[in-house]
Amino acid sequence: MGDRTMHIGELADRLGLSQRSLRHWDEIGLLTPSGRSDGNFRVYSEADEAKGRFVMLMKPLGFSLDEIAELAASRDASPQHPLAALSPERRAHFADAARSRGEKLRRDLAAVDDFLALTDQE
């Protein structure tokens, strides 16, 4: 399974997610636990946690669950080079989408900064 294992509650805390989200990820095959305990509880490894952190990178980028699953599958195929299993066209698609979303997030953050500057004037 891996060096250290943990139950769903610990992994949820470590990732900043709800247990419900992790159960959903398991149901859709996005993050399957490495095993089950004698009591049939989900057991996660440190490798599962690393995969969960990788999936978390996709959340602010607005990728669909299918796209996140595609990226996760590519990472599973080559953890050291997570996008290596994707075609050049798919890598370009994800890079373009991430750039576009990043630009929007930077504009949104600038708007927050502008608003906070107004609140400091009072």
Q: For residue range 22-37, what is the model confidence (pLDDT) as tens digits? A: 999 999 989 999 988 8
Rounded Cα distance between 14 and 27, Å, is: 20
DSSP, collapsed to helix, strand or coil, labels residue 96 as helix
The residue ranking higher by pLDDT, 121 or 5, is 5
Helix axes 19-27, 8-15, angle to 10 degrees: 110
Asked whether the beta carbons of 97 and 61 are under 8 A apart, the reply is yes
pTM for the full predicted model: 0.80
Query: Is 122 a residue whose pLDDT tops 70?
Result: no
Asked whether the beta carbons of 58 and 67 are under 8 A apart, the reply is yes
Asked whether the beta carbons of 8 and 23 are under 8 A apart, the reply is yes
Model confidence over 73-90: pLDDT tens digits? 999 898 888 899 999 999
DSSP, collapsed to helix, strand or coil, labels residue 45 as strand
Label residue 121 by pLDDT band (50, 70, 90).
confident
